[in-house]
Each structure stands twice: as structure tokens, then as C-alpha cells.
């Protein structure tokens, strides 16, 4: 089945010009350049939301449950990402990171991470004692740690822009300023309606990030999950304090949450980010504390799953808000890893909003969630490490979607 005639007709329409959507388009065109593939992005350029507010870490696969979609796609995507960067001369560095336990109570979780890393096939992961931590990061303190040599850094916006260029060079289209407002499946095709026009496609893939549940609900009205937006806020080390951090320093994460805790990240441009926290955002694209959407916030509060999460973890949530409103509290959390850090060493930096899927029964979905309904495939949950895994995710979706198109 191939849909050809008409300027706004396509074999596959991909909704969302972030790194996962672009990787999917690229994989489809590499599979068959005879396909007409159109990417629709609502903003004026690609990579404006989660991809564009990413800390730029190339994840190794340490954290993820063996056999999960995150583990499988992160490991495969890691290799593909490094190859893509080499082939396209995109600046990147495999610098390694340390994960540090700052108390005896975290040692069990640290051991679990080590075992997961080994099970996931990571090479060179090793345990650290206090002296070994300081050999790698002289200003860091902890009772024990892990060294993860495969972790790296990259600019994901540069990657996404290069993917967009490659999609165009292979005959695909990337149309910006096209916000999708409707998806209707018919027996032989799918009509995708934007604020400007209609597109007719053989198949559709939605990679909407913060809007993924709204897009999925277009073809699955009984969708049993919602996106809950969590804003992550960052500080940046002043130039005079950059000596405090060489590469990447992470805490042992709280096993109850799909967040990694405040940490230190050297970026590919040489700056050092500190954070993020994880606070409920009052708007899906609410990158500042003052952003508020009545529609988005009321939708979050109305979702039964969110109310269950809030009742269970309200104390943790208040702690995150305290760090959001108090620089001193934020610094105290960072000082657990680097005691020499002072408030004067930090200046406000950017923020991002994580699209976190929440089930009706109150579970914060940890794994990737990709669902197909008829001719439409929805990427419903693609949090970190989705950027690292993007090329693997794109190939997996393309393999499924391309069936029956040629």
C-alpha cells in the first residue's frame, strides 16, 4: 500500500520533530527512499522542547531493569549514537561518570545498580572506595561509588538538526509550524489535521513528548495514562568554581521515583550544570515558575492516577518545591556530593520539563511505552534515556510501521 498523489499526501506522517520523531523518519527513509515521509512539527524549528532542554548526557544503560525496553534500546542506541556522531562530525565525548553513595543507607541501592550494569552488558563498571572517588573527582565525597566509563556527553539539538538535514536529503519533508489538532483513521488511510491543512497518510507515528497522551487519545479514547509534567531546574557553576567538578557526578537515585536526583554534568561546551530537581509544572510547556495553564493544570489534578501519586509522595514533593524556591536548600543537596560548593558558586541556568506518563492506578511509568492502534503508532512514554536511545527506538518503530507500505 502506497499513498502518493497530492502535495499533502504521504506514506507515513510523523507528528513531532523531536529527536525520536526525526530518528524514526530517518530510519524509514533508510529502509526505503521510495517512501514519502513527512514530519510535522508545531514549533518554528525542530527540537524545541524535551530534546532542546536536555542535559546532553549519553547514558550507558546502568539504571534500567534488564530486559526492559529502556535497557534494550539504550544499549543499542548508545552504539548507534556514537557511530552517528562520528559519521556526521558531531562533537561528543565519552568521559565517564561516577555514582556516589553519601550514606551507608544507600549502599544496597548502589550494589543493585552495579548488578544491573553488569547484567546489561556494561564494560568497565567498577566499584570505588572513598579514596578512589577522590582520585576521579578530587572535590567529591562519599562512602562508596561506581565508575561508569561508558557515559558521555553530546549536544542533542545538534544531533536533531543533523537528522532533520538527512531526512531532507533522503527525500523526506520536515514541515514546521504545523500543529496537529486531529487524527482520524479510515479503512484505507489516516487523516491528520493541522491548524493549516489536512494530510492523508497510509500510517501515522506520533512522537509528541509533552503532548503525547493528547495525540494518542485521538485514536484511543480509552487511553489509560496521562502525561504529568515535571519541571527540572538547573544552576550552572561560575567559571571560578569549575575546578570543583571534572566530569559527571551523580547520587544514588531514590528507587521510588523515575528521577536521578540533583547531580553535576559537564556539558560539551565546557559549562557545568547542577541539577535538576523535579517539581510539578503548572503547564506542560512551563519552563519557568510563573508559567501557568488552567487547562493543563486542571487536567493533571483531575487525573485519578496523579491524585494517588500526590497522596503517597506529598512529602517528597514538598521537598522538591523547597529546593525550587530556596537556593540554599538546592545547594545543600548538591553539597552532599561536593561539600566545598557554596551558594556564590552557582548562577541560575535553564530548565526542562519531563513528560512523565502516569497510569490510572497511580504508577509513574518507568519504561518506554509504545502502542499501536490500527494504522497509528503512539510513543506514549519516552523519558530519559530516550535521546540516547533515539536511533534504536526509531529503527524499531520503522521496522513495524514499514510492514505493508512497499
Give the global pTM. 0.96
Q: Rounded to an integer, what is the distance from CA 199 to the centroid of its chain?
A: 28
d(CA 176, CA 179): 8
pLDDT at 377 over 70: yes
Label the pairing between strands 272-275 and 279-280: unpaired
Which class does domain 225-241+256-359 fall in?
alpha beta
Which is nearest to 353 in space by CA: 312, 391, 296? 296
Fold classified for 1-96+152-224+367-406: FAD/NAD(P)-binding domain (3.50.50)
Domain boundaries of the chain, sorted by first residue: 1-96+152-224+367-406, 225-241+256-359
Q: Which neighbouring-strand residues pair with 346?
A: 237
pLDDT at 6: 65
Cα–Cα distances (Å) from 335 to 277, 311, 397, in that order, read: 14, 29, 42
Phi, psi at 311, each rounded to 5°: -65, -35
Q: What is the pLDDT of residue 5?
A: 52
Give residue for cell 504521504: 10
- Contacts for 166 with CB less than 8 Å, ≥ 6 apart: 26
Short-list 118, 49, 33, 143, CA closest to 386: 49
User: How far is the CA of 27 from the CAs of 20, 22, 167, 394, 396, in angstroms?
Assistant: 10, 9, 9, 6, 9
Q: pLDDT for 28-38, tens place per residue?
A: 999 998 999 99
Q: Do domains 1-96+152-224+367-406 and 225-241+256-359 have the same CATH topology?
A: no
pLDDT tier for residue 406 given thresholds of 50, 70 and 90: low
Average pLDDT on 159-186 reads 97
Local confidence band at 259 (pLDDT 50, 70, 90 cut-offs): confident
Q: Which of 262, 260, 266 is nearest to 247 (CA)?
A: 266
Report residue 312 as a C-alpha cell.
Answer: 503517597
Nearest to 258 by CA among 230, 226, 289, 233: 230
Average pLDDT over every residue of 259-265 = 91
How far from chain centre, in Å, is Cα 363?
Answer: 18
Amino acid at each position: 500500500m502506497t499513498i502518493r498523489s497530492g502535495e499533502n499526501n504521504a506514506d507515513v506522517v510523523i507528528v513531532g520533530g523531536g529527536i525520536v520523531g526525526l530518528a524514526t523518519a530517518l530510519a524509514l527513509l533508510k529502509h526505503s527512499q521510495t517512501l514519502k515521509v513527512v514530519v510535522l512539527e508545531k514549533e518554528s524549528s525542530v527540537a524545541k522542547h524535551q530534546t532542546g532542554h536536555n542535559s546532553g548526557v549519553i547514558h550507558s544503560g546502568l539504571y534500567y531493569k534488564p530486559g526492559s525496553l529502556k535497557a534494550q534500546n539504550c544499549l543499542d542506541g548508545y552504539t548507534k549514537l556514537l557511530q552517528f556522531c562520528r559519521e556526521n562530525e558531531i562533537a561528543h565525548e565519552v568521559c565517564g561518570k561516577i555514582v556516589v553513595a553519601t550514606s551507608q543507607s544507600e549502599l544496597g541501592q548502589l550494589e543493585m545498580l552495579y548488578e544491573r550494569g553488569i547484567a546489561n552488558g556494561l564494560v568497565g563498571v567498577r566499584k570505588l572506595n572513598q579514596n578512589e572517588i577522590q582520585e576521579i573527582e578530587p572535590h567529591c565525597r562519599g562512602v562508596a561509588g561506581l565508575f561508569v566509563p561508558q557515559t558521555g556527553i553530546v549536544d542533542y539539538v545538534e544531533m536533531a538538526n543533523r537528522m532533520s538535514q538527512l531526512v531532507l536529503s533522503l527525500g523526506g519533508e520536515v514541515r514546521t509550524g504545523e500543529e496537529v489538532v486531529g487524527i482520524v483513521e479510515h479503512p484505507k488511510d489516516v487523516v491528520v489535521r493541522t491548524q493549516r491543512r489536512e494530510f492523508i497518510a497510509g500510517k501515522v507515528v506520533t512522537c509528541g513528548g509533552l503532548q503525547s497522551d493528547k495525540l494518542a487519545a485521538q485514536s484511543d479514547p480509552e487511553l489509560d495514562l496521562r502525561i504529568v509534567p515535571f519541571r527540572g531546574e538547573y544552576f550552572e557553576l561560575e567559571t571560578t568554581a569549575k575546578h570543583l567538578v571534572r566530569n559527571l557526578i551523580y547520587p544514588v537515585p531514590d528507587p521510588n521515583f523515575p528521577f536521578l536526583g540533583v547531580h553535576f554534568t559537564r556539558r560539551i561546551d565546557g559549562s557545568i550544570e547542577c541539577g535538576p530537581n523535579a517539581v510539578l509544572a503548572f503547564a506542560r510547556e512551563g519552563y519557568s515558575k510563573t508559567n501557568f495553564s488552567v487547562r493543563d493544570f486542571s487536567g493533571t489534578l483531575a487525573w485519578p492516577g496523579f491524585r494517588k501519586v500526590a497522596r503517597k509522595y506529598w512529602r517528597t514533593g514538598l521537598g522538591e518545591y523547597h529546593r525550587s524556591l530556596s537556593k540554599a536548600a538546592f545547594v545543600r543537596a548538591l553539597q552532599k556530593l561536593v561539600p566545598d560548593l557554596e551558594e556564590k558558586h552557582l548562577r541560575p541556568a535553564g530548565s526542562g520539563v519531563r513528560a512523565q506518563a502516569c497510569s490510572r492506578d497511580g504508577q509513574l511509568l518507568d519504561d518506554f511505552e509504545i502502542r499501536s492502534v490500527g494504522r497509528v503508532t503512539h510513543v506514549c512514554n519516552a523519558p530519559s534515556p530516550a535521546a540516547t536511545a533515539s536511533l534504536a527506538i526509531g529503527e524499531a518503530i520503522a521496522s513495524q510501521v514499514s510492514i505493508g507500505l512497499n
